[in-house]
């Protein structure tokens, strides 16, 4: 009798935890504040979540790889789009040096990309995470009885990532055609900084702002 009672109670507890993780709730059963903060941060982070996510996380390893690819693609698309935008509409305004740091000239376009661009990049990661987790499709959700729901949300997220990849390829191709100064190395460095800023600065900031 005790075994049967234990077997019926444990799945319900797992369902509650999975639902809480899918809804990005800040508190999980039997955890203190520091444990909740660590679980919250690792569960939704595109990079660290691959290795340190909660065992009952609604997003699996394969889906997290898709999210990471989508994040990288969106960052590349936004960087190349900004370069095109500055080149077409603002000409050389984006190349105006705002200040120098350690002998390196920082342009206004780079500052705009590393702030507003990284913020939108982090918001895109959050949107894609919510789309993939889909609390109503998880165990305990209203649509959990539909087995196709899990595959549908993964398919939608995958298509979203493919669109971001196509946008990145198209923007980079167009930028390569209009780039008359051959600033390919500068573009790569700017993009890598934007990606790191989004993943390790603005993504935690947006997460901590909603951790209440």
Return the pLDDT at 5. 39
21-57, pLDDT tens digit by residue? 776 666 776 778 788 778 878 888 899 989 888 888 8
Mean pLDDT for the chain? Answer: 78
- pTM of structure: 0.78
For residue 70, name the pLDDT band (cuts at 50, 70, 90): very high
Residue 191: which of 90, 79, 31, 56 has the closest Cα?
Answer: 79
Looking at per-residue confidence, does 15 or 66 come out higher? 66
Q: How many angstroms separate the CA atoms of 53 and 26, rounded?
A: 14
Q: By percentage, how much of the chain surpasses pLDDT 90? A: 20
* Residue 8, pLDDT score: 42
pLDDT at residue number 131? 83
Residue 6, pLDDT above cutoff 50: no
Instruction: List pLDDT tens digits, range 135-177.
Output: 676 666 666 656 667 778 788 889 999 999 999 999 888 877 7
CA distances (Å), 12 to each of 15, 30, 132, in order? Answer: 5, 15, 22
Q: For residues 188 and 74, give the distance between their C-alpha atoms in angstroms, rounded to a whole number.
A: 14
Tell me the average pLDDT across 70-83.
Answer: 89
Instruction: Tell whether the model's pLDDT for residue 18 goes beyond 90.
Output: no
Predicted confidence (pLDDT) per residue in 88-119, tens digit = 766 555 566 666 666 666 777 788 888 888 99
Q: Are 201 and 118 in contact (CB under 8 A)?
A: yes
Over range 4-22, report the average pLDDT. 60
What is the length of the chain? 212
The set of residues, in sequence order, having a beta carbon less than 8 Å from that of 86 and lying 6+ positions away, is: 93, 94, 95, 109
């Amino acid at each position: 009798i005790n075994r049967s009672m234990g077997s019926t109670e444990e799945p319900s507890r797992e369902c509650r935890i999975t639902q809480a993780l899918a809804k990005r709730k800040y508190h999980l059963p039997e955890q203190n504040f520091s444990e909740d903060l660590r679980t919250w941060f690792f569960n939704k982070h595109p990079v660290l979540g691959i290795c340190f996510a909660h065992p009952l996380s609604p997003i699996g390893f394969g889906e997290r790889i898709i999210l990471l690819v989508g994040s990288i693609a969106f960052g590349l698309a936004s960087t190349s789009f900004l370069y095109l935008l500055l080149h077409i509409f603002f000409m050389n305004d984006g190349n105006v040096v705002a200040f120098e740091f350690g002998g390196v000239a920082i342009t206004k376009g780079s500052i705009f990309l590393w702030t507003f661009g990284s913020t939108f990049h982090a918001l895109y990661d959050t949107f894609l995470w919510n789309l993939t987790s889909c609390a109503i499709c998880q165990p305990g959700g209203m649509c959990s009885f539909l087995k196709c729901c899990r595959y549908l949300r993964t398919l939608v997220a995958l298509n979203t990532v493919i669109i971001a990849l196509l946008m990145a390829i198209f923007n980079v191709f167009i930028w390569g055609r209009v780039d008359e100064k051959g600033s390919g190395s500068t573009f790569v460095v700017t993009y890598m900084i934007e990606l790191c800023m989004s993943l390790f600065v603005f993504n935690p900031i947006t997460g901590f702002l909603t951790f209440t």
